[in-house]
Amino acid sequence: MSKELIRLRDLTMEFDGERILDGINLYFNDHEFLTLLGPSGCGKTTTLRIIGGFLKPTSGTVTFDGKVINDVPPYKRQINTVFQRYALFPHLDVYDNIAFGLKVAKLSKDEIDRRVNEMLEIVSLKGYENRRIDNLSGGQQQRVAIARALVNRPKVLLLDEPLAALDLRLRKDMQNELKRIQQAMGITFIYVTHDQEEALSMSDTVVVMDKGRIQQIGRPEDIYNEPKNAFVADFIGESNILDGVMLADYKVRFFGRTFECVDSGFAPNEPVDVVIRPEDIDIVPPSEGHLVGTVTSVTFKGLNYDIIVEFKGFKWLIQTTDFHAAGSTIGIRLNPEDIHIMHKSDYSGMFGDYSSYSAEYDELTEDAGDEEE
């Protein structure tokens, strides 16, 4: 891409003896759309607030354009923020909200007027100048918040779960809108969310975090297709995760069978986690299957059915467009490219079993509630 703009080195953060961030090392490139993704309490908002200057790290450094900015207060950073609940000023109208930063900077009236109008154009809010904030819809408030931040022409825009308060349709529209704005302005966006779909669809780079640590950094496709551990595999999409043994390169054994796979570079007979995405599984008549199991429940999801199938006491989630009634027996086939092998980690055994289907599938960590602190 282009040059490095921000770097976090060995960042740790503690509140009242509780470790919120544990050795974060991360860099951000200019013009990049980077997303910090993770469940609540994972440290993503803390990281964002440290970059914004609202928090000082317990240890480690933040560099911006090569200079350490740990002690630079927010009002001196070339960074602006779009806050979780927008934090628009209720006593000011749309125009004055957007003009706020420019007025503080004491720009000329003409300049302010020109730039505010330009921003109104970009966020499609022309004609709303005199509206009071309370008379705007959620999506409009969102745009004002973005305009208010961008009008100052920051090098970096921080967005803290900006779409969390919007309904699904609006969220989709705003995702496209944000991407468009980012490309039009050509600046770095650092985006915080717990919504994996949002992260995958908008970002150039996704950083998956959990328990104050970075679990994986990569392009969205890589994160999805090559999760590094059970946490990532489970958090990004749905995964069946099984215990297996890597017999040799391209040969993995689980469920008492040996399967061909596309992974290599493991030690001989290394115990591993095997990830199989629910949508990759082909359902075949029982006689033709690698494995044969019984359907225990079926849920209609619109595009597909989610079916839970029991294989030898282990429950899998399978996504299929064909209906299979509960109680029926089916067979499945696994192609080598459907099988993804991961090293064992602290997260092994915690995810990937759909025995307690409903609780698991309701996305256990996904509440849009308050982040840490």
Partner 1 sequence: MKKTNRIFTVLIFIFLYIPMAVLVLASFNTGKDITDFEGFTFQRYVELFQDEHLLKLLGNSLLISILASAIATVFGTVAAVGIHGLKPKMRKTVMTLTNIPMTNPDIVTGVSLSLLFVFVGTKMLGQRDSLTFWTLLIAHITFNLPYVILNVMPKLNQMDVSLTDAAMDLGCTPVPAFFRVTLHEILPGIVTGAIMAFTMSLDDFVISYFVSGLDFVTLPVEIYSYTKKPIQPRVYAMFTLLFALIFVLMLTMNLLQLRSDKNKTERRGKTITKGQRYFRRLAALVCLLALLAGTGYLAFGTRQEIITLNIYNWGQYIADGSDGSMEIVKAFEEKYPHIKVNYSTYDSNEIMYSKLSNGGITVDLIIPSDYMIARMIQEDMLLPLDFDNIPNYQYIDESFKNTAYDPENKYSVPYTWGTVGILYNTKYVDEADVTGWELLWNEKYAGKILMFGNSRDAFGIAQYLLGYDVNTTDRAELDACAEKLKEQKPVLQQYVMDEIFATMENEEAWIAPYYAGDCLVMMENNENLAFYLPEEQGFNLFIDAMCIPSCAQEKEAAELFINFLCDPEISAANMDWVGYATPISEAKQYLDPETVSDPVAYPGDETLVNGTNFTYLPEDISRYMESLFMEVRND
> What is the rounded distance in angstroms from the CA atom of residue 114 to the CA atom of residue 141?
21
Q: Report the distance separating Cα 354 and Cα 272, nearest Å.
A: 19
222, 233 Cβ separation under 8 angstroms = no
| Choice between 130 and 358, CB closer to partner 1 | 130
| Closer residue to partner 1, CB minimum distance, 52 or 139 | 52
The residue from 35, 47, 81, 196 that contacts partner 1 (CB under 8 A) is 81
Tracing tokens 């679990």 back to the chain, one arrives at 215
Give the one residue of 25, 59, 130, 176 binding partner 1; rule: CB under 8 A: 130
- Applying CB under 8 A, does 150 fall inside the site for partner 1? no
Give all strands of the β-sheet with 240-248 in edge-to-edge order: 257-260, 251-254, 240-248, 270-276, 339-343
Q: Does 218 bind partner 1 (CB under 8 A)?
A: no
* 148 lies in the site for partner 1, by CB under 8 A: yes
Give the strand order in the sheet containing 67-68.
18-29, 4-15, 59-64, 67-68
Q: What is the CA radius of gyration of the chain?
A: 24
- The site that binds partner 1 (CB under 8 A) totals a number of residues, namely 31
Q: What is the DSSP string of 304-338?
A: SEEEEEEETTEEEEEEESS---TT-EEEEE--GGG
* Between 140 and 201, CB nearer to partner 1: 140
Q: Among 33, 95, 189, 351, which residue sits at the site for partner 1 (rule: CB under 8 A)?
A: 95
Taking CB under 8 A as the criterion, the residue among 59, 135, 176, 356 binding partner 1 is: 135
45 in contact with partner 1 (CB under 8 A): no
Find the part of the chain contacting partner 1 (CB under 8 A) among 76-84, 199-207, 234-242, 302-310.
Answer: 76-84
280 binds partner 1 (CB under 8 A): no
Amino acid at position 48, single letter: L
- Which one of residues 30, 129, 222, 226 is an interface residue with partner 1 (CB under 8 A)? 129
**Residue span binding partner 1 (CB under 8 A) among the ranges 98-106, 167-175, 224-232, 274-282:** 98-106
DSSP state of 93: B
Q: Which stretch binds partner 1 (CB under 8 A): 124-132, 186-194, 200-208, 254-262?
A: 124-132
* Integer Cα distance of 326 and 94 in angstroms: 55
Structure-token match 């030690």, residue found:
267
149 binds partner 1 (CB under 8 A): yes
Check residue 84 for interaction with partner 1 (CB under 8 A): yes
Give residue 131's identity as a one-letter amino acid code. Answer: R
Instruction: Give the binding site for partner 1 (CB under 8 A).
Output: 52, 54, 73-75, 79-81, 83-85, 87-93, 95-96, 100-101, 104-105, 129-130, 132, 135, 148-149, 152
